Amino acid sequence: MKTPTAKHLAIVLLLALILRLLAAWGWHARVDGGFRFGDSVSYWHLAREVAAGEPYRYGEDGWIFRTPGYPMLLAPIFWIVGPEASGIWGRILGAVFGTASVAGVWWLGRRLFNPWAGLLAASIAAVYPGAIVTSVLILSEAPFCPLMLAQLALWVSALQSASMKRSGVFAFSAGLVGGMATLVRPSWLLFTPFAVAAGLLFAEPRRRNLAIGVLALLGVAAAMAPWWIRNAQLTGHFVATSLQVGASLYDGLNPRATGASDMEFVGSFVKEERRTDRRQPGDRPASFEYRLDRRMLEAATRWAREHPGRVAELAFVKLMRMWNVWPNEASLSSWPVRIVILVSYLPVLLLGVVGAVRTVRCGLPYLLCWLPAVYFTCLHVVFVSSIRYRQPAMLGLIVLAAGVIWEAFEKREFLIRFRQGG
C-alpha cells in the first residue's frame, strides 16, 4: 500500500476544521451569543483587559485568579475586532486550535507506528465528538490540547533522537511547551515530573530518560519563571499557578461534596475572610486573595483528615464520573447525546487500553500516550470530576487505538495474501 501523502492529511484537517466551525456556530446560536460557563466569562474578561493594556485582574481582588495563557491567546481578537467582539470569534479560534490538535495526533501516530496509523489517528480525532465539543467552548481545553500534544511530540523526539545535542534541545523545548501548557491549564503543572518518574520506574534506558527529564523540568521552570516572579511580587509568597487551588480543592472535599462542581461556598468564605481579615499598611496587592486561598485550602485538608472514609467514597464517585460512558449532567444527557458519546468513546477507550498494554514494554514514547489519562485521573479523584476532564487524555488514547486498528488491518491483509498465495 502506498504511503499517504500530504493531500490525505490536508483533507482530514479540512474536515476537522469544517466540523469544528459548524459546531462553533451551532453552540453560539444555542447560547444566544453568550457564555454557558462561568469560566468562559472570566477568560473573556481577562482577554479584554490584556488587549486594552489594563492590569491583569479579575474583579476587585482577582490578581492571580487565572493563569495568563488562554487570555493572552484570546487578546488579539479584541485588537482586531474591537472591545465588543462577539464570543463567536473565540469559538472560531478554538476550532483552529482543535484542528491543530488533530495534526498533533497525526504526528504522534506517524512517529510511533507508521504513516497510515498516523492518518487513521488524525481521522478519528477529526470526527471524535469530545474533541469537537472541547474545541468550540471558550474554555482552556481548546488551546491546551495542541500544546499538550506538542510537548509529547517534542519529548518523543528527544527520546528517539540519535544525537545527544538534538535530544537536549528537544527535551528543553518540550519543557518550555509544557510550561506554556501549564499557563493555559494550571492542572498540567505536575505532569512533567510525573512523566519523569514514570520513565525512571517503568522504561529503559533510565539514565537517558533522567537526563531528558531534567532538561524538560528546566524548560518548564524557564517558561513559568516570569509568572512566578510576578506572583511573588504581588503576594510575598511563591504561587505556582493561581490562587484558585484552595477553592478547587474545597470544591472536591467538603461536607456537601458530590464529585461535581458547586462553587456557591466561595461567597461565604469571602465574607468570613473580610470579617476577620486585618489588612496591614504594607500589604501587597494580592495579600487578601492569598489569605482567602489559604483559608479554603486549610478547610479542605482539615475536612479530608477528619473524614477519610468519605474521601475514599468520593474518590470512587469522581472516578466513575470522569470515565462515564455518557454525560453526568442531566441537561446534557438526552438519549441522542448519550448514544453518540457511548458509540464514539467506548471503542476508543477499549482499543486505547489494548494499545497501552501492547506497548507497555516499548519505552517511554509509548507510555507518554496514556500517562495523561493516568495523571488526570489521579488529579480529579481528589478535585471535582466530569467527562470534560478526560477529553485531552483521549487524544493520546486515540493514537494507541489507531495503532491497534492498523496492526489488525495489516494482519488481515497478510492472511489474505498468504491464502491467495497458497
CA distance 105 to 124: 9
pLDDT at 375 over 80: yes
pLDDT at 75 over 60: yes
State the average pLDDT over residues 207-216: 96
**Which residue(s) pair with 62 in the sheet?**
58
State the average pLDDT over residues 360-364: 93
What is the total residue count of the chain? 422
pLDDT tens column, 257-267: 999 999 999 99
CA distance 219 to 147: 14
**Which residue(s) pair with 58 in the sheet?**
62
pLDDT band at 32 (very low <50, low <70, confident <90, very high): confident
From the list 228, 251, 225, the residue with the least C-alpha distance to 239 is 228
pLDDT at 52: 95
CA distance 273 to 146: 39
- 135 close to 61: Cβ distance less than 8 angstroms: no
pLDDT band at 414 (very low <50, low <70, confident <90, very high): low
pLDDT at 422: 47
CA distance 285 to 112: 49
**Can you read off the three cell numbers belonging to residue 129?**
465528538
236: left (phi over 0), alpha (psi -120 to 50) or beta: left
State the average pLDDT over residues 170-191: 98
pLDDT tens column, 278-326: 676 668 899 999 999 999 999 999 999 999 999 999 999 999 999 999 8
CA-angle at 19, arms to 401 and 154, nearest 5° = 50
